[in-house]
């Protein structure tokens, strides 16, 4: 199949009047449309005025479409993946909030099955090794100190599919945990933390490479104690997650972080919960009651935000439209950068990669979604995931 679009964006390159050729499940050619003539009998998809990118990659998502990744029902996981896929996220890591280790092990085993099936790219544990003082919407009753034996058990349950663990670096034993995770090939992320600048730097020195939803759930910046935010922004090996939903971060913060770090060091994440795509109302996250009003999720009776209700595609549109960040950097932050951390085979529009593609309309809303060379969403044929 040959797709010809007004603009094709690869990982850092913009091709005006570009084209992408797919064969089976793979991309085989990318370049100017003038250099890629249709082969005899080849199907051609004309997309004038549209933008074509790699499929989106979400490295931090708890659910959507009324379904949660914390559920022990595979049907719920499939429903959440389907919801985000319809909105352009073709690769996603299933995130679990803090829970007792026994429960997390059971959930990781289910997610391992679905990872091996190819439905998801792996799992992410957001806790339970987090700071009580910055727990946000995490259940404080299940938070525990870093524990090597607990991590070993969780790693065994995940069978090589655990991609990332978020922890608070100031907790006793946290640096050893960072090293343990890195030795196991798991990304160590820092979040829900009251760490100082020096404590954060020590964790990065130990191997941590991600700041979980930068600014949110962590000690704020102070001119005498910069804290984890400044430490993460300073270190070139660290990727900073951003929740761009116009609630978690002011547009100016998004714009300035993107300008300072570029798309190679930022990852747009949804941090979506089951309420994504659903009506306002009452929901649950990790055993805690959540109320959604105006699309904003908060703990019932409190002020703490409880994840988001957006997709990565909506984050892209917001980052470009409201924050004014550069389109190429934003696309990289939603594709190649998160993929490099949790799904190295995804997130890049180039020959030899799986044909996961998104077609965007003029207002940066996905109109077509391709997964593995097949349309998952196509407006003319009515195909939907």
Strand partners, 358: 53, 369
Query: Is residue 27 a contact partner of residue 44, using CB atoms and an 8 Å limit?
Result: no
Which of the residues are catalytic?
A: 271
Pairing of strands 366-371, 357-360: antiparallel
């Amino acid at each position: 199949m040959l797709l010809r679009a007004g603009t094709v964006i690869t990982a850092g390159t913009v091709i005006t009047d570009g084209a992408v050729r797919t064969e089976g499940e793979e991309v085989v050619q990318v370049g100017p449309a003038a250099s890629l003539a249709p082969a005899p009998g080849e199907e051609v998809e004309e997309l004038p005025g549209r933008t074509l990118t790699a499929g989106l990659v979400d490295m931090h998502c708890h659910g959507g479409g009324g379904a949660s990744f914390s559920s022990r029902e595979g049907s719920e996981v499939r429903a959440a993946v389907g919801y985000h896929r319809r909105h352009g996220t073709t690769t996603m890591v299933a995130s679990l909030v803090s829970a007792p280790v026994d429960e997390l092990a059971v959930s990781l085993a289910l997610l391992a099955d679905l990872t091996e099936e190819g439905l998801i790219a792996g799992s992410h544990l957001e806790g339970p090794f987090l700071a009580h003082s910055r727990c946000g919407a995490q259940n404080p009753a299940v938070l525990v100190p870093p524990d090597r034996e607990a991590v070993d058990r969780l790693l065994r349950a995940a069978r090589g599919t655990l991609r990332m663990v978020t922890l608070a670096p100031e907790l006793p034993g946290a640096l050893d945990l960072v090293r343990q995770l890195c030795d196991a090939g798991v990304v160590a992320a820092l979040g829900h933390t009251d760490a100082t600048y020096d404590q954060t730097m020590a964790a990065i020195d130990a191997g941590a490479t991600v700041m979980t939803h930068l600014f949110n759930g962590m000690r704020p910046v102070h001119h005498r104690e910069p804290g984890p935010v400044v430490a993460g922004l300073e270190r070139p090996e660290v990727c900073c997650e951003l929740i761009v939903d116009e609630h978690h971060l002011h547009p100016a913060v998004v714009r300035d972080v993107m300008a300072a770090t570029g798309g190679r060091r930022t990852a747009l994440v949804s941090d979506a919960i089951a309420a994504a795509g659903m009506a306002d109302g009452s929901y649950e996250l990790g055993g805690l009651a959540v109320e959604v009003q105006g699309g904003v999720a908060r703990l019932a009776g409190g002020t703490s935000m409880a994840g988001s209700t957006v997709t990565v595609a909506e984050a892209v549109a917001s980052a470009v439209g409201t924050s004014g960040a550069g389109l190429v950097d934003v696309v990289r932050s939603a594709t190649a950068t998160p993929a490099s951390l949790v799904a190295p085979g995804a997130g890049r529009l180039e020959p030899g990669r799986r044909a996961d593609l998104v077609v965007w309309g003029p207002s940066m809303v996905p109109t077509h979604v391709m997964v593995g060379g097949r349309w998952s969403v196509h407006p003319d044929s009515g195909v939907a995931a």
